[in-house]
Amino acid sequence: MKKGYYGQGANPYQNVTEQVKQDSKKKRSFTGLTFDQVGTLNVPYVVKNTHATDKKRVAIFAGALRNMTQDALNKVLGESIDAVVGGFADENIVVSNEERLIAAGDFFNYVPTRIRRIDATCNQAKAGVQFLNNLKVGNYHPAKNLGSEEYSFEQEIRATNYRDNKVSLNTETQLDSETYYIVDIEAGAELSLTMFLGATINIPYSLNADYLAQKEA
């Protein structure tokens, strides 16, 4: 086999379907980089606080700041964060599917992705107090304050039919290298989150799809 851009072996994108090629033609933005991709991070991850009495503040996503030390991150963000998924740990914070969550965070750093909705559930014994805490979504910039926004679980409970300890947040936010998600986890709480993904800017995917579309045009 002739060596090409991908070296010895198959092009990992060679199975792009005709539909994807058509989508590339239809959905191309001015830059040629935008592709609408809807999906679900459908392996729910659970953040559990095993401490008997203390609430813990956890950054479930921290963008490019994930690998900072605790002191440095708290100074930069002006927060008091106890743990970062994939970063510094707290012995009382246990995260299921952590490897997948870390991989997702790395993906979002390079492929900015819209988050259409987040479904949250909590163990029944702690749901009432846990959902009094908000999800904080902030953006970091080294030269200016981009601010943050808080999404209320409690408000959604009042506004919708609350069943099976489940709350849906219509966030319409974005995950990328500049964005962080922070939530307080009550003592003894097990917070499960499922994320519904929207549009992405996936440069590797779009470059290949655009090339194939142009080649066959």
Instruction: Specify whether the CB–CB gap between 198 and 176 falls below 8 A.
Output: no
List the beta bridge partners of residue 180: 138
Q: How far apart are CA 135 and CA 141, in angstroms?
A: 20
Q: How far apart are CA 217 and CA 201, in angstroms?
A: 23
Coil, strand or helix at 216: helix
Does residue 17 fall inside a structural domain? no
Mean confidence (pLDDT) of the chain: 81
Does residue 15 fall inside a structural domain? no
List the beta bridge partners of residue 191: 47, 122
User: Pairing between strand 83-84 and 56-61?
Assistant: parallel
Q: pLDDT band for position 196 (50/70/90)?
A: confident
Does residue 160 fall inside a structural domain? yes
Average pLDDT over residues 158-184: 84
21 or 179, higher pLDDT:
179
Does residue 13 fall inside a structural domain? no
What would the two tokens of residue 43 be?
Answer: 């392996």
Q: What is the pLDDT of residue 41?
A: 62
Q: What is the pLDDT of residue 93?
A: 97
Q: How far apart are CA 43 and CA 45, in angstroms?
A: 6
What would the two tokens of residue 96 be?
Answer: 């299921």
Q: How far apart are CA 109 and CA 179, in angstroms?
A: 9
Return the minimum-mean-pLDDT range out of 44-53, 149-158, 207-216: 207-216
Q: How far apart are CA 26 and CA 16, in angstroms?
A: 15
List the beta bridge partners of residue 121: 166, 192
- Mean pLDDT highest for which of 13-17, 20-24, 52-56? 52-56
pLDDT 10s digits, 25-74: 444 333 333 444 556 666 678 999 999 999 999 999 999 999 999 999 99
What would the two tokens of residue 113 be?
Answer: 């992705």
Domain assignment of residue 116, given as a range: 34-216
What would the two tokens of residue 27 be?
Answer: 């959905």
Does residue 23 fall inside a structural domain? no
pLDDT 10s digits, 78-109: 999 999 999 999 999 999 989 988 999 999 99
Does residue 3 fall inside a structural domain? no
Does residue 9 fall inside a structural domain? no
What would the two tokens of residue 100 be?
Answer: 């997948």
Q: pLDDT band for position 172 (50/70/90)?
A: confident
Q: Number of structural domains, the chain?
A: 1
- Mean pLDDT highest for which of 49-53, 138-142, 144-148, 195-199? 49-53
Does residue 102 fall inside a structural domain? yes
Instruction: Specify whether the CB–CB gap between 119 and 166 falls below 8 A.
Output: yes
